[in-house]
Amino acid sequence: MSVEMLVYRLGGGSDLKQRIKVALANFYQHHQRSPAAIIVHKSEAAEAIDIVKELAPRSKVPVRGNGGTLVGEVWCQSQSGTRI
């Protein structure tokens, strides 16, 4: 099974909350659902968890940190078995 990601690059200087907000809104607009997961650089993971809880308090979307994600990127994982 492959995992597909939609990568949002809004620049490292932009606010993490704004990056997540834009990524979630765009993903939802195109797919009419929440992503299976949100991945950010590992240095931003703890803050991102709090931001997602604030922006979408009922959401069960997991937030993970990954060293391969660049600072400034937000990755939205597609649901299993679907293509973007």
Strand 37-41 with 63-66, pairing: parallel
Tens of pLDDT, residue by residue over 40-62, are 999 999 999 999 999 888 888 99
- Quick one: residue 71, left, alpha or beta (phi over 0 = left, psi -120 to 50 = alpha)? beta
Kindly tell me if the per-residue pLDDT of 68 is higher than 60.
Answer: yes
End-to-end distance of the chain based on CA atoms, in angstroms? 14
The count of C-alpha atoms lying within 13 angstroms of the C-alpha of 8, restricted to the half-sphere facing its C-beta, is 21
Going by their DSSP bridges, the two strands 5-9 and 73-77 should be labelled as: antiparallel
Q: For residue 84, what pLDDT is reported?
A: 44
Q: How confident is the model at residue 12 (pLDDT cuts 50, 70, 90)?
A: low
pTM across the whole model: 0.84
